[in-house]
Amino acid sequence: MDDRKIQIVIDSFLPMVKAALQYTITLAVISFVLGLILAVLVALVRVWKIPVLNQIAIFYVWVIRGTPLLVQLFIIFFGLPSIGIELDPFPAAIIAFTLNMGAYNSEIVRAAIQSIANGQWEAAYSLGMTRGQALRRIILPQATRVSVPPLSNSFISLVKDTSLAYTITVVELFQVAKQITATTYEPLLLYSEAAVIYLIICTVLNALQNVMEKRLSRFSTQ
Amino acid sequence: MIQIQNLHKSFGSLEVLKGIDLSLEKGKVLVIIGPSGSGKTTLLRCLNLLETPNEGTLRLGNTTVEFGNRRKASKQQTLDLRQSTGMVFQSYNLFPHKTALENVMEAQIVVQKRSKEEARKRSIELLAKVGLSGKEDVYPHQLSGGQQQRVGIARALATDPQVMLFDEPTSALDPELVGEVLKVMKQLAAEGMTMVVVTHEMKFAAEAADTVVLMDDGKILEQGPPQQVLQNPSSERASQFLNLLTEKEV
């Protein structure tokens, strides 16, 4: 590699990391947290088969899982202005990713809640707990342990999927790589550099997942 | 303490309880025996409304609930009934993410709103009572079945119930562990706890029960003091069942 290329890699590193911190990671974290709250609500509606809401939840999960994320992103950012709803790129991306996470993660949370033996609910009820108390104190802590691996998976996917936000002009990591490529004509170099940064982020997340699993497994026999 | 009138329960088209009348005074021990499928566990689970009866009247302590014709227990009645009873399950159903001590503390803090310190003190006493001093900080999976079940008894006692319900508490245990659980139950009975026990342990029934109820096919077949029901049953069907159990023990 000649000096010019090395210089390009060095010069672009900071802007890319800055974009990663400012947009990629922020976008992923906010969407994941909001999406998880939505997911728990949807999961509970489905577990408890709450009338009407249950049908809405099933419809929502069906639509989101059955359509591409990119299409959802375009409908929210480019489509909604036609009916008078104009959103800035960043909030539009947050909404799209949150809705997406909410649908996928609701299935993870639902499966986790349903994997907890019915006897746990009964034991909690027999002690005089309400449904909410049983859920909070007994079921969710156990369901959390079950759902950490699939939710981590989901979060890592999301971090990478935020690159789609470049299509609606969010200046995230991939957008920066693309812009620098446009001026330097070094696509292999810059896209590889972007790939390495994504890889580093995901490696850190993987390590976090391992720590969490260890902490949560202290009471498990398996 | 407990009064049940004409209690019916169906699961779909299957009628499991076909009109049960039963009463139990404070401080007495009622043992329910009968072949599997006779409805004894369902009857027990109706007492704390883990199952909702379709028809009949249930009075437990100060709570009276009528069922049938769209009448059912209110939320408050359900919580009242459950707080005045403690249940011990066949498969223990301890909370696996909590230590033995935390299992016993949980309802005191969440339901009874006792302070942490108060709950801890009471829980340590209760674990000592069931012979598990020193096991406070152990998780359920680190305990033997007999020890887990004794934690289950301590957990059920923690909310100071007026009645203890036992659902085949020794059926999932290895034979050598049955004794330690029965010992705790007998001690409770001796202390004057009101108890309803579904079991196959005939020796326990003979020694600890004030009343034995023999159920068959959703009805009460025999009811009376243990000597009478176990040794001198009035119906042919009851003798058959009791003989079967005696043969098994030989």
Say whether pLDDT at A222 is over 80: no
C-alpha distance from A210 to closest chain B C-alpha (Å): 19
Residue type, B129: K
Rg of chain A over Cα atoms, rounded to whole angstroms, equals 21
Say whether pLDDT at A219 is over 80: no
Say whether pLDDT at A221 is over 70: no
Say how many CB pairs under 8 Å bridge A and B: 67
Contacts of B41 (CB under 8 A, 6+ apart): B167, B168, B198
Locate A139 and state its tokens: 């079921």
Tell me the C-alpha to C-alpha distance, in Å, between residue A178 and each of A92, A156, A184.
Answer: 21, 22, 10
Structural domains of chain A ordered from first start: 3-221 (1.10.3720.10)
Mean pLDDT of A179-201: 95
Query: What does DSSP assign to residue A82?
Result: G
Give contacts of B 100-139 with A, CB under 8 A: 106-107, 110-111, 139
Please tell me if residue B219 touches chain A, with a CB cutoff of 8 Å. no
C-alpha distance from A106 to closest chain B C-alpha (Å): 23
The string of pLDDT tens digits covering residues A6-53 is 999 999 999 999 999 999 999 999 999 999 999 999 999 999 999 999
Residue-level pLDDT at B234: 86
Interface contact flag, B82 A125, Cβ < 8 Å: yes
Say whether pLDDT at A57 is over 80: yes
Please tell me if residue A220 touches chain B, with a CB cutoff of 8 Å. yes
Residue-level pLDDT at B34: 92
Taking 3-state DSSP, the helix, strand and coil percentages for chain B, each rounded to the nearest 5, stand at 40, 25, 35
C-alpha distance from A208 to closest chain B C-alpha (Å): 21
Residue-level pLDDT at A117: 95
Locate A90 and state its tokens: 């960043």
Q: Which of A128, A137, A142 sits opposite B79 (nearest CB)?
A: A128
Contacts of B44 (CB under 8 A, 6+ apart): B32, B165, B166, B167, B196, B198
C-alpha distance from A135 to closest chain B C-alpha (Å): 12
- Residue spans of chain B under pLDDT 50: 250
Query: What does DSSP assign to residue B154?
Result: H
Interface contact flag, B93 A137, Cβ < 8 Å: no
Q: What is the ipTM of this complex?
A: 0.93
Contact call for residues B150 and B184 (beta carbons, < 8 A): yes
Mean pLDDT of A100-124: 97
Per-residue HEC secondary structure of A166-211 comes to HHHCCCCHHHHHHHHHHHHCCHHHHHHHHHHHHHHHHHHHHHHHHH
Contact call for residues B101 and B132 (beta carbons, < 8 A): no
CA dihedral A157, A159, A163, A166 (to 10 degrees): 130
Mean pLDDT of A135-144: 95
Phi then psi for residue B166, to 5 deg, are -120, 120
Give chain A's count of helices (H) and strands (E).
10, 0
Measured CA to CA, the distance from residue A57 to residue A116 in angstroms comes to: 22
The string of pLDDT tens digits covering residues B69-109 is 888 889 999 999 999 999 999 999 999 999 999 999 999 99
